[in-house]
Chain A
């Protein structure tokens, strides 16, 4: 009974009132057992993190997925990637927009992809591992030239260190 009254007395106290330095209100029955946690700084931190992530989210313009096993070459000077037809090379096999393609069908498939592409149709993006030999890349370059692609963009990672 006494314990319930004691607890009720503490609960009846205003949290803000007890921490007020100017005019503290409420009855003080010994030391208060309630720990008043100030959430203002936590909300400030959360707000800054959300704003940062929102800005980062809106600045992301590329929609390129990279295979986990693929190590792109790293360079110092790179430009922003513009979307177009994506050709990737995995295990010496060719993929156009993630669809496997035989090397003899490259020209035809590149022409079809160029017609379907709505964003920068004459822009070709090549993704390959940095250890790939040029003999594997050469069919793509030749097929793209035949298909009328004007520009090649080789996907790279920026801010590389020279080996």
Chain B
């Protein structure tokens, strides 16, 4: 659906330093995928997300959207902006309207939807983001941190993006808030076939939710593979300043001790089942 061929971007700072943010990125985003993006601070995750969302124009390379090649970045950005929604880090800082309802309605209204269509949009996205309608007339600033974040996510959903990018959406949320957020994302994906791109520093969150992981390192795409292949490769992750999930660490230690457990289990209940089986076999 979206394809990057040798896409590059560099930031020109005022001192004249030409800092390349991303170099020669090749990637493909397919309809309905749940993709995780991992990488150390400064690896280019946010830059790639901004190019995908049509917010910044690359300095080189080709972008294809639905098979159409765009060498005119302005045209590419316009198409991308109509298809891709992005939830930035700490999106609650970007709420600005007087009421929750108006904040969520801002996107659809700007798209030129009628009052009635906008209303439908607002209610549907609020429901997807688990926001009760009784909050609609409140000021967003009266809400709790978790609620504010859901308002911001609902605001992006209301523009009905085909691709939803979330940059560290769980930062600062408590464990139950994180769980709820992951549940919502899977529901959105299931109900609307939305492609989800999750950028996160938490290897646990990526392992439990995504199907494919793109690892960025110093602005380059280092690896693009299934969750199992990425997270069982401790050496690769360490090289990129990342880590294997805690549960994978346990499995590796168990296997060092002579147990034979597949390393691609990221769910605790599933792992406990497998351990029980192995223990049963020794009996």
- Whether both chains belong to one complex is answered with no
- Interface of A toward B, CB cutoff 8 Å: none
